[in-house]
Amino acid sequence: MEIPANFIIHETTHWIVNHHMSSALPGYLMLGSRAHVNSLGDLPGEALAELGGLLATVQETLETRLKPKWLYISRFGHDPGHAIHFHFIPVYHWVEELFWNDPRYRLLNTFASKENAQSLTDGAEMTLFVWREFGESPEPPAIQGPSVAAVIKELRQAFK
């Protein structure tokens, strides 16, 4: 899959960092391999050597520039049509507030009392919220802070 230039933030010999193309959440980044493989074991050694430092740099840049409350770093894909890639999902305070104020997501806490529900929510539930509300919804929630385009511009500068 070709990534449009307006989403690309940083490129190396083996990797591309881009904003998630279908997410309205500013700072939701993807780190994708240029090699069309779906397994770490199939990557060239140079790509593997570059990966650790790049994961750390993306994390540090997002945390220092965008200051999310949490930053989830994951690998989900199993579609053979996509090269191996990693998701960087920033969870800002305002995203967490939207999550807690949406009664549809309270159904996930059927075994929790009102007092301890927040301590029982995990990253999977928050990731579901981000994917559904900022990625799949035809009308995503209003964001607080800089837009996706502004964040892409800022992160490009940070990677220079």
For CA atoms 138, 143, 147, 152, the dihedral sign is negative
pLDDT score recorded for residue 81: 73
Tokens 């928050």 label which residue?
Answer: 126
Three-state SS at 29:
strand
Per-residue pLDDT of 110-152, as tens digits, reads 555 555 555 556 788 899 999 999 999 999 999 999 999 999 9
Q: What does pTM read for this prediction? A: 0.90
pLDDT score recorded for residue 114: 53
Neighbour tally for 55: CB within 10 Å: 15
**Cβ 50 vs Cβ 64: under 8 Å:** no
Per-residue pLDDT of 11-60, as tens digits, reads 999 999 999 999 999 999 999 999 999 889 999 999 999 999 999 999 99
**DSSP string of 96-127?**
HHHHHH-HHHHGGGTTS-TTTHHHH--HHHHH
Q: Which of 102 and 15 is assigned the larger pLDDT?
A: 15
Per-residue pLDDT of 83-99, as tens digits, reads 899 999 999 999 999 99
Domains contained in the chain, CATH given: 5-159 (3.30.428.10)
40: CB partners within 8 A, 6+ apart: 48, 84
Residue 156 confidence (pLDDT) above 70: yes
Q: At what angle do helices 148-159 and 45-65 cross, to 10 degrees?
A: 120
